[in-house]
Amino acid sequence: MAPQGGTPPLVLLFSGKRKSGKDFLTEALQSRLGADICAILRLSGPLKEQYAQEHGLDFQKLLDASTYKEAYRRDMIRWGEEKHRADPGFFCRKIVEGVSQPIWLVSDTRRVSDIQWFREAYGAAMQTVRVFASEQSRQQRGWVFTPGVDDAESESLGHIRRYSSSAYQLYSHSKFPEREI
């Protein structure tokens, strides 16, 4: 569970709706801090990898923001929820394997069980960051409401707000001019 050097001093769990800017913000933080200091961990990575293996799909295409991924998104969400019910910590354990950097940015926290797992594993080192963006900003970034995806429990995030008030809240209502980061 712990990184190669032991427990990390800081684990930030980012949550927010699709196209709210979670990936952009975590990548900007890593760019500022350096990849040797800061690791971006994506819970969706091992989920997509396992889903691709079990369904004979192209894992690399599931990682990008393509129409290929969108074609499988609903079923992938359903499949991922089944996996989480069977073993809530499965994907959390996968993403921390072999990580040696002292700062971890988990860019896509969507479930209370993820927060619980990181809290139990890393205690006070774990903090939550909620990323907000207006619907208009999300649409400018390519978001389109998709039934079965945007109204799924994993996307509503209300359950996370009820369970854990975010230690930090970031508002990203623009197209992120580079100079602002």
- Cβ atoms 131, 21 nearer than 8 A: yes
176: region left, alpha or beta (phi > 0 left; psi from -120 to 50 alpha): left
The number of residues making up the chain comes to: 181
Q: What angle do CA 71, 113, 165 make, to 5 degrees?
A: 105
**Token pair belonging to 7:** 């427990």
CA end-to-end distance (rounded Å), the chain? 32
19 among the known binding-site residues? yes
75 among the known binding-site residues? no
**Token pair belonging to 25:** 């913000």
61 among the known binding-site residues? no
Helical residues (DSSP H) of 7-152, grouped into ranges:
22-33, 44-55, 59-63, 67-86, 90-96, 112-122, 135-140
Q: Quote the CA–CA distance of 14 and 128 in Å, as a whole number.
A: 6
85 among the known binding-site residues? no
Helix (H) and strand (E) counts for the chain?
9, 5
64 among the known binding-site residues? no
17 among the known binding-site residues? yes
5 among the known binding-site residues? no
94 among the known binding-site residues? no
| Residues flagged as binding site for ATP | 17-23, 141
Could you list the residues known to form a binding site, using ranges: 17-23, 141
